[in-house]
Amino acid sequence: MNILLKSAKIVNEATKEIHLKKRDILIKNGVIEKIGVQIDAPPKTKIVEHKNLHVSLGWMDTGVSFGEPGYEERETIDNGLQTAARSGFTDVLLNPNSFPLPDSSSDIVFLKNASKGHVTNLHPLGNLTVSGEGESLAELYDMKNAGAVGFYDFKHAVTNPNLLKIALQYAQNFDGIVLSFPLDNHIAGKGIVNEGIVSTRLGLKGIPAMAEELQVSRDLFILEYTGGKLHIPTISTANSVKLIAAAKKKGLKVTCSVAVHNLIKTDDDLEDFETHYKVLPPLRTTKDCKELIKGLTNGTIDFVTSDHTPLNIELKKVEFDNADYGTIGLESSFGALNQLFDIEETIEILTRGRKTFGIEVPELREGTKANLTIFDPNTEYTFSEDHISSSSKNSLFLNTVLKGTVLGTISNNQVHLNH
């Protein structure tokens, strides 16, 4: 398909000569053929024009969940990838959060095959342990060869320190990356929200910040001993940022992410016992939010993830204590981030991550494959169910004012336009 973006403002620091300049971009058969001030459209070319058209490299999300296989009513791979494309993401890392869990090469092959033919590329994470039970390592090497980009027991801490040690040592043989969820279950106990003034006032059992920080500290200690590559997904406390900053200073190969909602929402939002706000890690304090934002700005925190977790309504429309953890986030991710940062920083954050997980990094130059997101950064709107294309509607950003609209995505010689 041939497409011409007219007068698009390019946000891409890597190409200094056109960064923040308005240009026409002609894409032929999936390749950027020409970037120029004025390009005439060849025959049979789709022209994309918009009053405030912006373009950047395609965005990446390092942590999404769909339901398939096993929980298709929450989200199929097909609808999940269409939602990702509508939300501006040309690449997503898929969490192992299905039934059965992906712990063998054939499971990874199934996920890769199910995602073919989409604008958005799906990069599966395989389970670190067999059936995610934390007892013995899964087929890491075989899964890597089948296309897994990392190994993670989704939202489950590696409770056995020796297992993490062996995993980090073994994965070095094939440049694999190990993910370890930051939560000490013994300290967290039956807690469901951040432990503090709010949890006490509301009579809800708390998860202390220490439950996360002890696990982070332990994992970094093991990493220092073993070497290898460790990724700590969705940190949520000020002290976790400090611990990871110190580890990076030592030269350890550690990366981490933060869920976008942990940058914006706090435990003060729990006052109405709204179950959409029940997430793991829990919403913390304003101080934590500030330190997480600072960590993101100075490079201590590597990625922001939507932590997109679709859940059917009966898992959320119950008492707060009994509700499942999780919120969807793909559709609101850009609008939320764009409220916090200027557009250059927002795009820089959204395009990070590929290199860490061994994914090809696209370029915005003539002669390269088009992997692009088009958007308008200035529109403001109140996020509602009308903006949700996920099968599940469990969003904690409902009724929140967001800034910026995704207009479409271009990747894999395909175009998805929202308007």
Catalytic positions, please? 307
Q: How many CB atoms lie within 10 A of CB 112?
A: 17
As a whole number of angstroms, the distance between CA 55 and CA 411 comes to 13
Residue with tokens 């398939």: 68
As a whole number of angstroms, the distance between CA 408 and CA 209 comes to 39
Is 400 in contact with 382 (CB distance < 8 Å)? Answer: yes
SS3 267: helix
What contacts 40, CB < 8 A, 6 or more positions away? none
HEC string of 99-144 equals: CCCCCCHHHHHHHHHHCCCCCCEEEECECCEHHHCCCCECCHHHHH
Q: Which of 38, 31, 30, 45 is nearest to 6 (CA)?
A: 38
Residue with tokens 């296989």: 69
As a whole number of angstroms, the distance between CA 140 and CA 135 comes to 14
The full length of the chain comes to 419
| Phi, psi angles (nearest 5°) of residue 304 | -105, 135
| Phi, psi angles (nearest 5°) of residue 418 | -85, -20
Q: In angstroms, what CA-CA distances link 361 with 91, 161, 351? A: 11, 34, 9
| Phi, psi angles (nearest 5°) of residue 382 | -95, 120
State the amino acid at position 273 in one-letter form.
Answer: F
What contacts 342, CB < 8 A, 6 or more positions away? none
Is 154 in contact with 97 (CB distance < 8 Å)? Answer: yes
